[in-house]
Amino acid sequence: MAPGTPARSTFSTGALAALLAAVVMLVLAALFGVPVAPQLVADRLTALVPVGVFSAVLAGLESAAKPLVFGGVVVGQVLLGGLLGVAAGRAVRRGISPLAIFAGLLVAAWVVLALVIAPAGGIGPVGATSTAGVGATAIGDAVEALVFAGVVTLGLTSTEGDPAVDPGRRRLLRLAAFGVPGALAAAYLARFGVSLAQKSGVTPASHASGQLVSPITRTADFYVVSKNFIDPTVSLNGWQLSVSGKIDHPQTYQYDQLRARPSVQRVTTLECISNDVGGNYMSTGQWTGFALRDLLAEVGLQPSASHLVLRAADDYSDSIPLVAAMHPYTMLVYDLNGAPLPNEHGYPLRLIVPGIFGMKNAKWLKSIEAINTDYSGYWQQRGWSNVATVQTMSRIDVPTDSGSVTAGTAAMVGGVAFAGDRGISRVELSTDGGHTWGAADIQPPPSSLTWVIWTRSWTPAKAGDYTLVVRAWDGKGTPQDANDQDPLPDGATGLHRIGVSVKAASA
């Protein structure tokens, strides 16, 4: 390294190395399920952020929250890499050999990844408790550390000036060697961030276009939510469902064994606890599988068992009380709408629990453990509800907010209402901001566990601006909570309202 090499050059070298290491870790995660450092850091940050702050950020950013967190963590990693590049440059100027610098950076990066970030992210030293296991985590961390240390060392040694080489040509060669990979890495990370935003912002096509939803949601339109930057890809080779804990006969089941069991099909609506008033994060699917209680009967629950802990292939965990597990309609499912579960919906096996928000309907299920106490899972540790009972909700889909209709002409108003396994007994619509109400018609639902589609004909008498409001009663006759409440921690409450402009009829 030339004595006069500026700090900005060494910083750029370290930043580039960190950028390339970030790409490598995402590729390893996608291919082999190796834990992703930005994901682990994000998990730790969300656990430390106060609940009120988390709620405000989530409400303000919505689908942008996950890509912004990912981008922020990657930027932090790049800045840290740049500072390490500067430190390595100073070490070279003090006469420390490039080989020693390479070894030091390699060890330091591996120690940070395996012994600092992994435990802080909740998967233990070197991923001891992660699905990937110690071996894959250690190798993955080593590859990422090798990329970082190698690029930094190569960058520092390549700045050595050969008098026989024209300086302009040398700069061009350096740009080709380091600038092009850096640009490609940045483009890859940007594209990854965009895909995160798209995955976090799925909107069913019918609702987005101001149409009534279909009784059963197309799989392509089914909402998708997960905590992950990269969802796991589970191979059936080696996959099994283990059932253990406070039971008499611990068992493991292979996929073919589960599919060979007598099956049932049930139509159930699933709603995310982060769904806002009038929100899109709910869908209805036809699920194929079998009753969880039948499996529990086989393994012999002990009298002391009170809860089931559910663990997934993405190191996610949650729990449900035994009373929910024994509900006749609580299912372990392997098909959605007549086809094997798509990966984003939990292939090869997931849980469907009536009346409970989606976060407890664990995807990518790998183990069930019966315990004799309560258990706080991933989202409970971050301030979300442990009971997670679905709130009664209703939504106006037609017309759209800020839409228009014509005075003196009948217009259809409609949408959905849902109350989990309690069902819906009544829906009412107000066309004057909630002062007066009229009953809406309810279509027969696909099952007792789904949303209902409601409609009402409205003929506005004169032009003007109107506020439409909807409210519902559950099957027990309890009215929807009209108090406005953010989703965190127990699910959103409040009445959905939209503004509609009524135009005068043309002559």
3-state class of 469 per DSSP?
strand
The pLDDT value recorded for residue 205 is 47
Which pLDDT score is estimated for 281?
93
Domain boundaries, the chain: 7-200, 228-382, 393-503
pLDDT score of 57: 64
At the fourth CATH level, the homologous superfamily of domain 228-382 is Oxidoreductase, molybdopterin-binding domain (3.90.420.10)
pLDDT tops 90 at residue 164: no
Determine what percent of the chain is predicted with pLDDT higher than 70: 89
The most confident of 35-44, 85-94, 128-137, 234-243, by mean pLDDT = 234-243
Q: What is the pLDDT of residues 187-214, one digit of tens each?
A: 888 888 888 777 766 555 445 557 899 9
Q: At the topology level of CATH, where does 393-503 sit?
A: Immunoglobulin-like (2.60.40)
- pLDDT band at residue 4 under the 50/70/90 scheme: very low
In the block, residue with structure tokens 């929910």 = 324
User: Which tens digit of pLDDT belongs to each residue from 369-404?
Assistant: 999 999 999 999 888 999 999 999 999 999 999 989
Contacts of residue 1, Cβ cutoff 8 Å, sequence gap at least 6: 89, 92, 93, 156, 157, 159, 160
pTM score of the predicted model: 0.85
> Do residues 267 and 449 lie in contact, with contact meaning Cβ atoms separated by under 8 Å?
yes
Residue with tokens 């109400």: 437
Mean of per-residue pLDDT scores for the chain: 89
**Structure confidence by residue, pLDDT tens digits, 215-232:** 999 999 999 988 888 888
**C-alpha neighbours within 13 Å on the C-beta side of residue 358:** 23
Q: Which of 397, 280, 269, 274 is closest to 336 using CA atoms?
A: 269
Cis check: omega of the bond before 125, within 30 degrees of 0: no
